């Protein structure tokens, strides 16, 4: 005697089709590249790139605003120079804390600066940096009156 087993509907249908000589239908497998799959896989990348773009934009904006401010100061000083006034004394100092680990200077200058955004460095094409002792060894022993102070 044969024991009776109850087969699940899908298995029963497949078994009957095999007996009848028909191949069973196979479910179509979905492609792995669905929009949902791509979005979930790349979402962290999109977030990272977005944050990076915002950070670069903010840095560029800050750098541009400092440069524009320095250019306005230099233009005002130049106008005063044309009028016969001592333009350098009219430039407001912007004293910054001195970090002895990093100061700035130009090759042919005599001063060291606390920031590369100093108004005295505005027209400099080459700005070098290093420690205060590096600057002193290169003869840059005069602190800038506009960014370091006296």
CA distances from 13 to 7, 9, 79 (A): 9, 6, 95
**Span 31-43, mean pLDDT?**
74
pLDDT score at 92: 75
So what's the pLDDT on residue 70? Answer: 74
Q: Which residue has the tokens 């524009």?
A: 68
pLDDT tens digits for range 56-81? 777 666 666 777 777 777 787 778 77
Answer yes or no: is pLDDT of 147 > 70. Answer: yes
Tell me the CA end-to-end span of the chain in Å, nearest whole number. Answer: 110
**CA 101, CA 25: separation in Å to the nearest integer?**
75
What DSSP string runs through 15-84?
HHHHHHTPPPP-PPPPPS--HHHHHHHHHHHHHHHHHHHHHHHHHHHHHHHHHHHHHHHHHHHHHHHHTT
How much is the pLDDT for 64?
67
pLDDT at residue 74, as a whole number:
75
Max distance between CA atoms of the chain, in angstroms, equals 122
């Amino acid at each position: 005697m044969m024991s009776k087993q109850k087969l699940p509907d899908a298995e029963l249908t497949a078994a009957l089709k095999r007996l009848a000589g028909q191949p069973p239908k196979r479910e179509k497998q979905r492609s792995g590249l669905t929009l949902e799959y791509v979005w979930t896989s790349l979402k962290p990348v999109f977030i990272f790139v977005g944050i990076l773009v915002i950070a670069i934009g903010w840095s560029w904006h800050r750098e541009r605003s400092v440069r524009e401010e320095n250019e306005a100061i230099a233009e005002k000083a130049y106008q005063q120079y044309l009028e016969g006034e001592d333009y350098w004394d009219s430039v407001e100092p912007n004293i910054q804390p001195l970090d002895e680990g990093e100061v700035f200077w130009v090759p042919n200058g005599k001063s060291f600066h606390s920031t590369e955004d100093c108004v005295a460095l505005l027209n400099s094409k080459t700005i070098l940096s290093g420690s205060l002792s590096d600057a002193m060894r290169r003869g840059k022993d005069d602190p800038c009156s506009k960014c370091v102070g006296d």
